Structure 1
Amino acid sequence: MFAPSTVSHNGGGWVASLEGIVRTLPDVELGIAFELGGCNFKYEQTGVCYYPLSCLRPSRVARLFGKCNIEERKEQYLRVIDDFKPDLIQIFGSENDFGIICSLTDIPVIIHMQGCLPPCHNALFPVGMNSKDFLFCGGLSLCRRWMGLRSESTFRKQAEREITTIQSCRYFLGRTEWDKALVKLFNPQACYFHSEEALRPSFFQSDKLWGMFDLKSEKVRIVSVISNPWYKGLDLILKTAELLRRFAPFRVEWNVYGVNDIVPFFERKYGIRASEVGVYPMGSVSQDVLVEALCHAHCFVAPSYIDNSPNSVCEAQLLGLPVLATNVGGVSSLVKDGETGILVPANDPYILASHIVALQADPGRARSLGHAAREQALARHNPESIGQTLLSVYKKVVRHA
């Protein structure tokens, strides 16, 4: 929706979907500040004020050393607030520097919880991996190698900063029992409101669904969508695929979207070559390509060691695809084991592989899980319901601040 530059993720992300909902709410005037360099201070389009904040993007060298100009950020934040004069400020994510706004203004601030870094720090490296691997194990660019070496210390500092941010804010929006529990742990006096996540229209409104296509083939097609952090479970995918190669009565084609250049590192670290076990890194693709891939897969696997409510799981559920996911973080708020999907322990490739084999031997169960998940996801991510919930929350916060 913002013209000067394309800032969407894979054809548009959940934030853009949420913007589409909020901008239609009655009596709501919307301003959006975000990180983007090379633009003017303010743009007005279709009733929305956009504020691209160029100071938020430090140089590559500064990012490598974890440095940023907090004072300049504060000035930019206050400039936006002074220009837009909001009644309420909504911050997406408690892990970023936007959280300092809580201490800069008396305007009520509500933090929309995303992930949470303290648990991510706890689950940063897969079993058998540590910072030394980034010195001695090949397969990474110099930039990623440096990021890996700094991962533990960087996450530790950011995790402590996030706790401070949560403690400084009064109002929170979340969507899982996990993020609610974390907010209450760090800030027992906080007011927590439940609101479901907006998803990309291509998934919610898709005319293609899982089960519409003939899935008979020589290979069982599995799809995962993960990102580059070490805790997202690429190692679990490789280990599980290796077990399926050895013991499953079928061959596997496991397409992994969202990653590419970190695969050689994991191959060397765990001694499993991706292509030899049927794992293929697909990189980033458009949402339409992903819809097509999901609808032609046999199942979806979410392998992360920690997550709040991965949108990739919700999108697979919307299409009716049977989901297998590690039982971590807030995933159990999305997947009811044996009813709307299958939950497995983190870092247990043996159980995951056995569930994949069993599911392929029972097509009726796969259809039942996928159907139930789709019905739940349609209700959970209904745009009208999300809009009404948000409007109610906004009014409560403004009224009681």
Structure 2
Amino acid sequence: MKETGGWLSSLDKAIQSKIDLYVAFHGCKNEEFKYKGTTYFSIKLNRSIYQKIGRKIGKSFDNRENLNLYLTVIDKVKPDVIHIHGTEQSFGCIIKNTMQPIVVSIQGNLTVYHHKFFSGFEKKYLKIKKRTIKWPLSFFSPGNFKSIYKTYSKLRFNEQEYLKNCKYVIGRTRWDYRISRILAPQSKYYHCDEILRDEFYDKCCNVKVEKDEKIFFTTSSNNFYKGIETIFEAVELLNKGKLNFKWYIAGICKDDLIVHILRKKYDKLILNEIIFLGKLNAKEITSYMANTDIYIMPSHIENSPNNLCEAMLFGLPSIATFAGGTGTLIDDNVNGILIQDGDPWAMAGAIIEIISSPNLISKLRVNARRIALIRHNKEKIVTNLIKIYTSIINEAKN
């Protein structure tokens, strides 16, 4: 059971020939269909207008109606093992309500993300609005980050309940292992890395000729704790040194709420070097990466961010904040550079350090791709995941 996503589609594709695979996901209608050997169940959540209003005014997330939808699918499939990807959605409500063994993959963690929400911005910026939809639809669309913060505040309790009752978890970093020992203390922990999108395996960054203008690249999202404000501050510092560069940011549009907030926070700061690209597909991202000198991941909290993993797999020299699980991905000064989150001086300094040393560029590029190819090896991951499933099934039988 999962939410649809790029890396999940890659896992689906890699594993479907090895097992009988059934995939349940949230969709716009209730539908069962088969595609390339996998059976899919699109599940439309039961959310009446009264439930939406209840959530808006602060009532808790009640998943009892959705539970019946999930149990109907389970009863039809009768799976040997159920794999839930992520702890933030309502699929976790089945954990106490079925006898089938369940394993939960830790993607992010709302409990920790809620705790780190204000690492980049003060609370006063929560109320800034930028609505593009007229009433009454705007009532159900988050007009500011306060709505998202309140949602996290409520969902984290569901997440904590799911994990407390979870017997098996899958993770991939020292960070998610450690938090699982607190949030899911009775669980058995398995390590399994992720399969990334094909485009990042097929191509890699080549050594470029010297050019006057340096290109930096970041993939992020319209969110409060992704550290975009650190990029703004680092750019200001780099401008004082007269560096000639452009910084491309994918995943964020120039009209997104986070950009609106940044412009209010830095009202007198004009940064022509930052270019917001909006959402890009994998092919478009690799096209930009092919001309990139350094990849920068600025978040205040992550687990193993796929954007960083993809950049390293592509062979880009990368700078990342030491946030959550990134310390598992990067061995500092070996296959990337780690800096403190929220520190624009260290970010700008790391950029200067890399572009000033051709030997360092070469070392980071080669090691990043070499280690990432091992970590994200498709056959190894599929074999490991099937071993995990087999172990759980055998343990459940006993």
Normalising by structure 1, report the TM-score. 0.90
2:385 alignment partner in structure 1:
390
Match of 1:53 among 43, 49, 52: 43
1:388–1:340 distance in 2 versus 1, CA, 3 Å:
same
Deviation at 1:217, TM superposition (A): 2.8
Structure 2 contact 125–261 (Cα < 8 Å) conserved: no
Match of 2:22 among 17, 31, 36: 31
2:210 equivalent to 1:187: no
SS of the residue corresponding to residue 45 of structure 2 reads helix
2:94 alignment partner in structure 1:
101
2:245 alignment partner in structure 1:
252
SS of the residue corresponding to residue 276 of structure 2 reads strand
Structure 1 contact 318–378 (Cα < 8 Å) conserved: yes
1:4 alignment partner in structure 2:
none
1:203 alignment partner in structure 2:
200
SS of the residue corresponding to residue 380 of structure 2 reads helix
Deviation at 1:56, TM superposition (A): 6.0
Deviation at 1:232, TM superposition (A): 0.6
Structure 1 contact 218–250 (Cα < 8 Å) conserved: no
Structure 1 contact 211–367 (Cα < 8 Å) conserved: no
1:56–1:395 distance in 2 versus 1, CA, 3 Å:
farther
2:215 equivalent to 1:224: no
Residue 320 of structure 1 aligns to which amino acid in structure 2?
G
SS of the residue corresponding to residue 55 of structure 1 reads coil
1:293–1:285 distance in 2 versus 1, CA, 3 Å:
same
Structure 1 contact 36–56 (Cα < 8 Å) conserved: no
1:71 alignment partner in structure 2:
64
Cα distance in 2, alignment partners of residues 252 and 138 from structure 1: 32
Deviation at 1:223, TM superposition (A): 0.3
SS of the residue corresponding to residue 330 of structure 2 reads coil
SS of the residue corresponding to residue 367 of structure 1 reads helix
Cα distance in 2, alignment partners of residues 128 and 46 from structure 1: 46
Residue 271 of structure 1 aligns to which amino acid in structure 2?
D
Structure 1 contact 244–252 (Cα < 8 Å) conserved: no
Deviation at 1:383, TM superposition (A): 0.4
Deviation at 1:139, TM superposition (A): 5.5
1:133 alignment partner in structure 2:
125
2:76 alignment partner in structure 1:
83
Structure 2 contact 142–148 (Cα < 8 Å) conserved: no
Q: CA RMSD in A?
A: 2.2
1:56–1:314 distance in 2 versus 1, CA, 3 Å:
farther
Cα distance in 2, alignment partners of residues 325 and 339 from structure 1: 13
Return structure 1 stretches of 4+ with deviation > 4 angstroms: 56-69, 137-145
Deviation at 1:72, TM superposition (A): 2.1
2:32 alignment partner in structure 1:
42
Gaps of 5+ in 1: 1-6
Structure 1 contact 22–387 (Cα < 8 Å) conserved: yes
Residue 125 of structure 1 aligns to which amino acid in structure 2?
F
Cα distance in 1, alignment partners of residues 331 and 57 from structure 2: 42
2:152 alignment partner in structure 1:
155
1:113 alignment partner in structure 2:
106
1:319–1:379 distance in 2 versus 1, CA, 3 Å:
same
Deviation at 1:277, TM superposition (A): 4.4
Deviation at 1:64, TM superposition (A): 5.0
How many residues are paired up?
382
1:345 alignment partner in structure 2:
340
Structure 1 contact 36–57 (Cα < 8 Å) conserved: no
Cα distance in 1, alignment partners of residues 81 and 22 from structure 2: 10
Cα distance in 1, alignment partners of residues 317 and 46 from structure 2: 40
| 1:195-238 deviation digits (Å, cap 9, x = unpaired) | 001100111122xx212443x33321100001112001111111
Structure 1 contact 64–146 (Cα < 8 Å) conserved: no
2:325 equivalent to 1:335: no
Deviation at 1:112, TM superposition (A): 0.8
Deviation at 1:319, TM superposition (A): 1.1
1:281–1:140 distance in 2 versus 1, CA, 3 Å:
farther
Structure 1 contact 140–264 (Cα < 8 Å) conserved: no
2:290 alignment partner in structure 1:
295
Deviation at 1:188, TM superposition (A): 2.0
Deviation at 1:265, TM superposition (A): 1.7
Cα distance in 2, alignment partners of residues 134 and 387 from structure 1: 42
SS of the residue corresponding to residue 105 of structure 1 reads coil
Structure 1 contact 240–350 (Cα < 8 Å) conserved: yes
| 1:310-330 deviation digits (Å, cap 9, x = unpaired) | 011111111110000000100
Deviates further, 50-59 or 315-324: 50-59
Gaps of 5+ in 2: none
2:7 alignment partner in structure 1:
14
Deviates further, 99-108 or 358-367: 358-367
Of all paired residues, the percent bearing the same amino acid is: 30
1:238 alignment partner in structure 2:
232
SS of the residue corresponding to residue 90 of structure 1 reads strand
1:128–1:383 distance in 2 versus 1, CA, 3 Å:
closer
Residue 302 of structure 1 aligns to which amino acid in structure 2?
M
Structure 1 contact 245–277 (Cα < 8 Å) conserved: no
Cα distance in 1, alignment partners of residues 56 and 194 from structure 2: 32
Structure 2 contact 205–290 (Cα < 8 Å) conserved: yes
Cα distance in 2, alignment partners of residues 46 and 354 from structure 1: 49
Residue 22 of structure 1 aligns to which amino acid in structure 2?
I
